[in-house]
Structure 1
Amino acid sequence: MKKLIITITIIIFSACTDISVDPPSFGDDETTVFGDFDGYQAYIAKVYASLTLTGQQGAAGQPDLTVINDEGFSSYLRVWWKAQELTTDEAIIAWQDAGIRDLHNHAWSSDNQFVRVLYYRIFYTISLANDFIRVSENLPEGLTNDEIAEIDRFVAEARFIRAFAYWHALDHFKNVILITSITSDLPSQEEPSDIFDFLITELDEIEDDLFSAGQGNHPYGRLDQGAVWMLKAKLYLNSEVYTGISRYSDAIAEANKVISSGVYSIHDTYQELFMGDNHLRTNEIIWPIVHDGLVSQTWGGTTTIIRGGIGGAMMDDLQGGVDFPDEALQEYGVPSGWEGYRTTSALVEKFPNAATDPNGNSPDGRAIFFTEGQSLEIDNVAEFEDGYAVPKFNNIESTTGQRAPGVDQVSTDYPVFRLSEAYLILAEAELQVNGSISASTLLFLNELRQRAYGDNSGDIAISDVTLDWILDERARELYLEATRRTDLVRHGKFTGGDYIWPWKGGVQEGVSTSSHLNIFPIPASDLIANPKLEQNEGY
């Protein structure tokens, strides 16, 4: 069994659907719950767990949120991933739940249930973090100095998770409220630049209070300085989108902190970063969202990412016409798939030869496609076999070849930040500042290419590196890692007609879409609950 960051003792919260009210309360028992160190440890575990778990009772039961009928749909990672992937060329889904097709079709409204649950899940996590910070302000007597120091670190971690969630609020909704303390007053929206400045200030203030960089240097899954540097690098890279002011030089500085820290290195085998024992890949993974199929079960998180992308011949118990019992279990580490998402030809074509080879093979080993029984082109969105499957993530342990712990849920962690993205941020920011990349940055890019190709046949030259090349290389390296929508928005290709992919706008060949879709609408339910809020333009 994989050890989680902290033993999770569940504290019961009431479900919350209105972010303008107080967060869940411990009521009269609060002084008892926080009478010793264990209460604080349990609560920070809940703050971490809010990024993937959905309630208080295993994979389902006593949900945190009641704004959606299926509790599994309310997983933070699940809704964030959908917003970043199903709206782009990297994923399209066969399911017909109300509103889910609207994501790829660029046809969502303020009543879309997936937009709504993303918004409320973000602010639920913010509320938990705010409340943890509050209860940590007046510590009980009897704590040891070591316990007090650990709680202080917990506070810094809660502040990071709050900043992480506020980054998603800024990135997806832009015009949002800023609440850092518990209040019953109805809040007003802040300027996006003020949210941005708050995030940078927060991250600067907590950096020295977190563990030193390197997941191998502290309890696994805990936040550290490397995560701060990566989040700041991503904020600065997207600053012009958020504030109208470019901060590429600052992005360079933060990416260089990661790279020069000396604690990270590129892992030899790409797919091992996304397998059931990827908790061993602390050389490259800077911060993961931890999953364990035995003790932290969820129908969201990586369970959805893995099982949602399996179907058709991937689980027909045949290989090459020969019986192959329990195929999904043996090949992907799960009992079955959910026949959900596939990718579009636009992603496949970014890998040399992948679109023309019958098996989707490419000299670029990052092209992890399943093609048996699948067509490259998508004629019917509802048919899983239309579009190549993308089993980049699986629940098999690379060290044993066996499934990772769990029955219906998985133990594959979600790599939020990786060293490879620091390389790509550095290259893009240098290109924006200087018009080209440095020789040292070229070495970093070719390090990624050499892992992908197995030799130097995929190496590129400085003159090859353009903004379009960077955008495509980010797709090749980071597909299905919840970066694509943000990347396309930053490059001016998410909406409009500069870049078209299959079924963009709900049309098979793809169409131009309106620029107001670069951000999501404030949910109609929150506008009703708080008359101070104004809807984003175009909705």
Structure 2
Amino acid sequence: MIIMKTKFYYYISILFLCLCHVSCEDFLEETNKSGLTTDPFMKTKVGIESALNSCYSGARTFYGQEDGFGMTESGTDLFLRGGDNKANQLADYTIDLNGSQSTIGNVWKNLYLSLSACNQTISLLPSEVLTEAENKSFEGQAKFWRAFYLWLITETWGDVVLNTEPITGAVTEAHRSSVEDFYKVIFDDLDVAVNQLAPGKSTDGRITQDVAKAFKARACLTRACATGEASLYAEAAMLAKDIINSQRYSFYTDYSDMWDIANCDGGTNKEAIFSINYTNSELENNAFDATATNSGNKGIVDFVMKYDKEAGMERDVLNARPFQRYMPSRYLLQLYNENIDQRYKVTFKDAWYANKNPLSESDLKVYPLMATGDTAIYIMKTAATDSQKVWASKRYRLLDVNDVYTSEGKAILRSQFVEMHKFADPTAVYNQDWCQRDAFVIRLPEMYFIAAEAMLQTNKQEAVDLMNEFLMKRAIPSKENDMRITESELTIDFILDERARELCGEQIRWFDLKRTKKLVEYVKLHNMDAKDNIQEYHMLRPIPQNQLDAVTNKDEFTQNPGYTK
């Protein structure tokens, strides 16, 4: 499914983005060279529709993309640097994590470009060429996206530049706005979206009132954790429960159905509330470059371990391209009790089956009893017994948890590991590094987590009841009671553990740890690559150096605290 309903509208939206594209120094030197607000095309209905469509495009530069995974999953307690990680500074918080780090520069540029598209679109509204209903809907959608991009910007960099108007001339200075000022705009925009958009599940990728409510619940909880405001906690709980009680979303009985490629479309997936749409067409997956290739969801390859050099194995569609950017931490694997919880065996892949036919002489020399179609690699999250090792020695490569990690959790192997597998696409083309799977930004489980956390201090029993309602849905049949928790067990640490089990890889972990002020604590405990490097100042990312170099007020607009050039 795609955001733009036809290729015509898709290319028109790309034309709009090209017209309002920020320069190589993005917002700091941006000039509105096209005069979009006076261009006759932008006063037509098609022009305004294309402007609105452009607001959607920027999300594809972050969700389901390597830059986005690096900013949100790498450098947390859940994922370590894989064997071919391209951003070790983010993964390990090394001394060279600074404003010159390319991933951070890419994300900054794309988010401010996305913000510019929203501001340009909002400036075109209301319009006499649209009906009253269209004006309200278009404004609600555009303001939702502005709020969304502003949230990503301020939660990543703090009190940086807050743009809410179209750029009308060259910008040579940058001025900081407080996080509080960011949130004022975020909440005002989300109120417009909630009030002006129709309720309902998004079936075509468009923002609905449900999406706006769900994201506002996340934003309220985020801000409540920073300010302690009881009203924000209450609103977060209310909005989350509104979505839960709408009965428009439900859990799959079999958790494997949640991630089955047949259910990868957010418009039909029962648990998906807010999704970034991808298709099996490269050109329809592009963000800002209409001619780019290899465009789509990269989750299919970024978490895949290097299997294709092992005995009995060769690269194929089923196992995907082994980019090995991120490997699960020992801590993440040990969070699951696979005897009662459905999610471990669906979320992770620990066995690979010999796909060479026939097996080569060198394969059989290593494992004389190996057979095509039988196990070629088995990686355990526990310690192997002597009998398991003996059995495997002539049949397949066996790695147990102590082969992959030290007892403290430091990686010994970085190219062979239990891989997070829920983003797989067995329908992809051979050797393709992207897929059609929609990137799920908010799913139904998050509404349970938000409501439970927001009620921890005020209505803990209801919070426990909600959490148990969710947990029993993830239990292996007949193990429901084993998944239940008591009131004393429901703590912020339990909620974070549950978020890890459910949402790992879904680009929220860094924000969750920052929000709960647990980032430094959890990384020091569970990420042995980063534990000696991470500091409190890493709760914000460094501002790209090219932005600092471009401003004329360098004494005023300086790098975030703690970072060097």
TM-score class, shorter: 0.7 to 0.9
Gapped regions of structure 2 (runs ≥ 5): 287-292, 352-376, 380-398
Equivalent in 71, 75, 78 of residue 87 of structure 1: 75
Pairwise mapping of residues 376-455 of structure 1 onto structure 2 (< 5 A)? Answer: 376=401, 377-378=404-405, 384-396=414-426, 402-403=427-428, 409-438=434-463, 440-450=465-475, 455=480
What residue is the counterpart of 2:102 in the other structure?
A: 113
Q: In structure 2, what is the equivalent of residue 130 of structure 1?
A: 119
Between 512-521 and 367-376, report the one with greater CA deviation. Answer: 367-376
Q: 2:343 matched to 1:366?
A: yes
Aligned to 2:365: none
2:548 is the alignment partner of 1:527: yes
Post-superposition shift, 1:434? Answer: 4.0
Q: Deviations over 1:231-277 (max 9, x none)?
A: 22112212245446463222111211211222121223334334434
**Structure 2 SS opposite 1:288:** strand
Q: Is residue 2:26 matched to residue 1:49?
A: no
The 3-state SS of whatever aligns with 1:257 is helix
1:164-209, Cα deviation, whole Å (9 max, x unpaired): 0111112111112211102345342111112112211211122122
Over the matched positions of the two proteins, sequence identity in percent amounts to 21
Q: Under a length normalisation based on structure 2, what TM-score does the superposition of the two structures give?
A: 0.76
Q: What's the CA shift for 1:408?
A: 5.1
Against the structure 1 CA distance between its residues 221 and 472, is the aligned structure 2 distance closer, same or farther, given a 3 Å change threshold?
same
Distance 1:83 1:427, change over 3 A: same
Q: Secondary structure at the match of 1:199?
A: helix
The 5 Å alignment of 1:31-430 reads 31-52=39-60, 77-94=65-82, 100-107=87-94, 108-139=97-128, 143=129, 145=131, 149-183=133-167, 184=169, 185=171, 186-216=173-203, 220-243=204-227, 245=229, 247-277=232-262, 278-279=264-265, 281-294=268-281, 295-297=283-285, 303-313=297-307, 315=308, 321=312, 327=316, 329=317, 331=318, 334=320, 336-352=321-337, 362-367=339-344, 368-372=347-351, 373=377, 374=379, 376=401, 377-378=404-405, 384-396=414-426, 402-403=427-428, 409-430=434-455
Aligned residue type for 2:343? R
1:479-498 aligned at under 5 Å gives the runs 479-496=504-521
SS at the partner of 1:517?
helix
1:302, distance to aligned residue in structure 2 (A): 5.7
1:217-241 deviations in whole A, cap 9, x for unaligned?
A: xxx1110111111222112212245
| Secondary structure of the structure 1 residue equivalent to 2:440 | strand
Name the CA distance, whole Å, in 1 between partners of 2:218 and 2:421.
Answer: 26
In the alignment, is the contact (CA less than 8 A) between 2:304 and 2:322 conserved in 1? yes
- Contact 1:292/1:405 (CA < 8 Å) preserved in 2? no
Q: CA deviation at 1:456?
A: 4.2
The DSSP-based 3-state class of the residue aligned with 2:28 is coil
Partner Cα separation in structure 1 for residue 235 and residue 511 of structure 2: 18
TM-score (norm. length: structure 1): 0.80
Distance of aligned partners of 1:30 and 1:75 in 2 relative to their CA distance in 1, 3 Å threshold: farther
Counterpart-to-counterpart distance in 2, 1:81 and 1:191: 27
Amino acid at match of 2:550: A
Contact 1:110 1:522 (8 Å CA) reproduced: yes
Q: Is 1:26 aligned to 2:51, yes or no? A: no
Cα shift readout 1:461-512 (whole Å, capped 9, x = no counterpart): 333222211110110011111111122223332114785123342xxxx437
Deviations 1:25-72 (A, max 9, x none): 53589634335322222232222122115xxxxxxxxxxxxxxxxxxx
Q: Flag the structure with larger Rg.
A: 2
Q: Tell me the matched-pair count.
A: 483
Partner of 1:6: 5
Q: Residues of 2 paired with 1:457 and 1:317: CA distance? A: 39
| One-letter identity of the residue aligned with 1:348 | L
RMSD (Å), alpha carbons: 3.2
Structure 1 contact 159–206 (Cα < 8 Å) conserved: yes
Give the secondary-structure state (helix, strand or coil) at the position aligned to 1:149.
Answer: helix
Q: Which 10-residue stretch deviates more, 200-209 or 232-241?
A: 232-241
CA contact (8 A) 1:192 1:243 kept: no
* Cα-to-partner distance string for 1:348-392 (whole Å, 9 max, x where unaligned): 01012xxxxxxxx55422112223445543479696434321111
Larger RCO (alpha carbons 8 Å, 6+ apart): 2
Amino acid at match of 2:190: L
Whole-Å separation in 1 of the counterparts to 2:310 and 2:529? 34
Q: Distance in 2 between matches of 1:138 and 1:344?
A: 52
Contact 2:85/2:324 (CA < 8 Å) preserved in 1? Answer: no
Distance 2:145 2:430 in 1: 27
CA distance in 1: counterparts of 2:478 and 2:67, whole angstroms: 33
State the secondary structure of the residue aligned to 1:432.
coil
Residues 422 and 28 from structure 1, CA distance in 2 versus in 1: closer, same or farther, beyond 3 angstroms? closer
Q: Structure 1: state its 5+ residue gaps.
A: 54-73, 353-360, 397-401
* Counterparts of 1:381 and 1:301, CA distance in 2: 31
